[in-house]
Structure 1
């Protein structure tokens, strides 16, 4: 299976028809059908490594201030207990917990409802441990690589540039910040070069990194995807662009 990083952007993309959502639909049409999906979403960021272990994960509307129709969206994909146990085995961590309260947050369902609109592919979410450094998350991605040969789609969902303090809410046209463009271009080039070490050590990229990644939650899903990639395999950028001046919609596909 390929492995995907998706810039999910504004939750309203779940309802919109635009260049980004059309790109997600095209990804779904081109992908081989997975047996299940393991999603690493920026929005399950907590001081633990956990897996959703519920037969029918609820659709979580983890945001506020949006139109009612967005809160009415449901993505009733089933869970996958066998995948939960397989991931726990691969990670080899004694403290991986199973969670029966969390479900699918908008980092997962806002993109999957375009990629697999029937919601008929089982989905499990893996949390991002906020207490661990970037290298830890890259290492977990590498441990998950065998899933690709088992029909599992590994998907990271975040944004390589995610600064809501400078986001142009509802004002058009948005002026894209130079630092956001520079950092996105740098990340893209490093991904295409296969220079994972600098991407893991992204804080070394200076002020542009500080502004683009003020908190690591939306950046770290990329590291799981990089870790699960294979050296020399094809790399594509199926979706790109900047939303609101400071949210990168860059997506990357390996394989």
Structure 2
């Protein structure tokens, strides 16, 4: 098993809420081939108004985006969806969703529209084939995603799926 397959599996476990003991992950990682490591980052988005601000938080996000190698794609795991079931977006052109109520009208003017990555999204679903994960072709990017991504990759040039 290589790191990419491990990360796909790890992502699918996060998607399905399954639990696995750390010892099992350690045993699996002993079988890694020598592949390049990709960073796994957790970033809490804070208040949506940060999408408008130039502060320590947003400056650090920008630094992260320029300090790591640009990924081929970004998988977002979000708790902002209320659905009957678990879904992964296979939308090839996800649009920003303004799902935060009336905070500041300037937020509605921000456009962040990266390409999606339907192929990788389907691979994540397939990796969790034993679970009832469905694809959704109309999901966009919730504010927990785009308010962060606009600082990490302001050109929206990294495909994203959620």
Do the two structures share a fold, i.e. TM-score over 0.5? yes
Alignment of 1:57-206 (within 5 A): 57-125=94-162
Shift of 1:94: 4.1
State the distance in 2 between where 1:45 and 1:116 align. 27
SS of corresponding position for 1:84: helix
SS of corresponding position for 1:5: coil
State the distance in 1 between where 2:100 and 2:57 align. 20
The TM-score, its normalising length taken from structure 1, stands at: 0.47
SS of corresponding position for 1:13: helix
**Within the alignment, does 1:28 sit opposite 2:28 as a pair?**
no
Instruction: Pick the structure with more strand per residue.
Output: 1
Shift of 1:71: 1.0
Does the CA-based 8 Å contact 2:90-2:119 persist in structure 1? no
Q: 1:18 aligns with which of 20, 33, 55?
A: 55
Aligned residues between the structures: 125
Does the CA-based 8 Å contact 2:125-2:135 persist in structure 1? no
Shift of 1:45: 4.2
State the distance in 1 between where 2:47 and 2:114 align. 21
Shift of 1:28: 0.4
- Could you say which residue in structure 1 is the equivalent of 2:15? none
State the distance in 2 between where 1:44 and 1:3 align. 22
State the distance in 1 between where 2:148 and 2:67 align. 15
State the distance in 2 between where 1:22 and 1:46 align. 34
Q: 1:41 aligns with which of 74, 78, 85?
A: 78
State the distance in 2 between where 1:17 and 1:58 align. 23
State the distance in 2 between where 1:21 and 1:29 align. 13
Gaps of 5+ in 2: 1-37
Shift of 1:2: 0.5
Gaps of 5+ in 1: 126-255
Say which is worse superposed, 57-66 or 105-114, in terms of deviation.
57-66
Shift of 1:85: 1.6
Which aligned segments of 4 or more residues in structure 1 are displaced greater than 6 angstroms? none
